[in-house]
Amino acid sequence: MAELAKNNSTIPIVEEEKVISPWKEAWNSFRKNKIALVGAFIVLFFVLIAILAPFIAPQTENEIALGNRLLPPSADYWLGTDDFGRDILSRIMYGARISLWVGFFAVLGSIVMGCALGIIAGYYGKWVDTVISRIFDIMLAFPSILLAIAIVSVLGPSLQNALIAIAIINVPNFGRLIRSKVLSVKQEEYIMAAKAIGMKDSRILFNHILPNSMAPIIVQGTLAIATAIIECAALGFLGLGAQPPEAEWGKMLADSKQYLIDAPWTMIFPGLAIMLTVLGFNLMGDGLRDALDPRMKS
């Protein structure tokens, strides 16, 4: 007995490993990516500016002072004034609200429509898949900005119609992405088991397939917001998006292009705002891709 007790005392005790959820593991990976954190801080900076614009902006976005038109940056006007004497800094702050609002809700609409069509096409297949996939192919055959211009031309130039157009042109990207994911997920054993026990298709789709297909949608959605901001600015620059006197960055560029030589600050600062916002979303999207894609993990 003494010898048995001695042997038992030498048996190593194996500690139970802590189970980390996939989302927590992704967050730990994301926060170790310094470049992705820089992008997240840039995005957070512009989001805070958009939220706090009414409280921190030196002036309202449409306050006209013709006596102060085209003033260069100074202590009174940090980023100068435009051709109507409006404070450019204030207009950029209020413009952040418009660009982020359009970017977020346009992509949200694209995700909802694209995921609905992509899930139906990937899960049911056959002629349903063929019809939906051909619709996606036809839409992708046109350059996205030209398709957006055509949609806004039919609906009429306005910020709301620009949002609708941007949402529509991005539907095929999300639809094809979720379709490919569904095609692989529906072959898993747990999906086949769910079908075997008679589980309804709607429950399989929303409880099993959709949650397991969200990682690429999150990554693509983050990157798509950057694209939507550029498209919103492009439509505004062409006069098909935001209408005067709305403080939208693309419209600010269009109104200032004739002053590029005499007052370059009227174009430089709105352009920098677009560039930094898009850069932030792209850096954050790349970080999310690295954190959520199992193939990128060691």
Q: Which domains does the chain have, with CATH numbers?
A: 74-296 (1.10.3720.10)
Structure confidence at residue 4 (pLDDT)? 46
Which DSSP string corresponds to 242-265?
S-TT---HHHHHHHHGGGTTT-TH
Q: What is the pLDDT along the chain (298 residues), one digit of tens a residue?
A: 455 445 555 555 544 455 566 667 777 777 888 898 999 999 999 999 999 999 999 988 888 888 889 999 999 899 999 989 999 999 999 999 999 999 999 999 999 999 899 988 888 878 888 999 999 999 999 889 999 999 999 999 999 999 999 999 999 999 999 888 888 877 777 777 777 787 777 777 777 777 777 888 888 999 999 999 999 999 999 999 888 888 899 999 999 989 988 899 999 999 999 999 999 999 998 888 888 765 555 4
60 Rama class: left (phi>0) / alpha (psi -120 to 50) / beta: beta
Q: What is the 3-state secondary structure (H, E, C) of 57-83?
A: CCCCCCCCCHHHCCCCCCCCCCCCECC
Query: Cis omega (within 30 of 0) on the bond before 270?
Result: no
Structure confidence at residue 237 (pLDDT)? 92
Rounded Cα gap, residues 250 and 230, in angstroms: 8
Residue 87 bridge partners (DSSP): 81
Which DSSP string corresponds to the chain?
-HHHHHHHHTSPPPPPPPP--HHHHHHHHHHT-HHHHHHHHHHHHHHHHHHHHHHH-SS-TT---GGGTTPPS-SSSTT-B-TT--BHHHHHHHHHHHHHHHHHHHHHHHHHHHHHHHHHHHHH-HHHHHHHHHHHHHHHTS-HHHHHHHHHHHH-SSHHHHHHHHHHHTHHHHHHHHHHHHHHHTTSHHHHHHHHTT--HHHHIIIIITGGGHHHHHHHHHHHHHHHHHHHHHHHHTTSSS-TT---HHHHHHHHGGGTTT-THHHHHHHHHHHHHHHHHHHHHHHHHHHH-GGG--
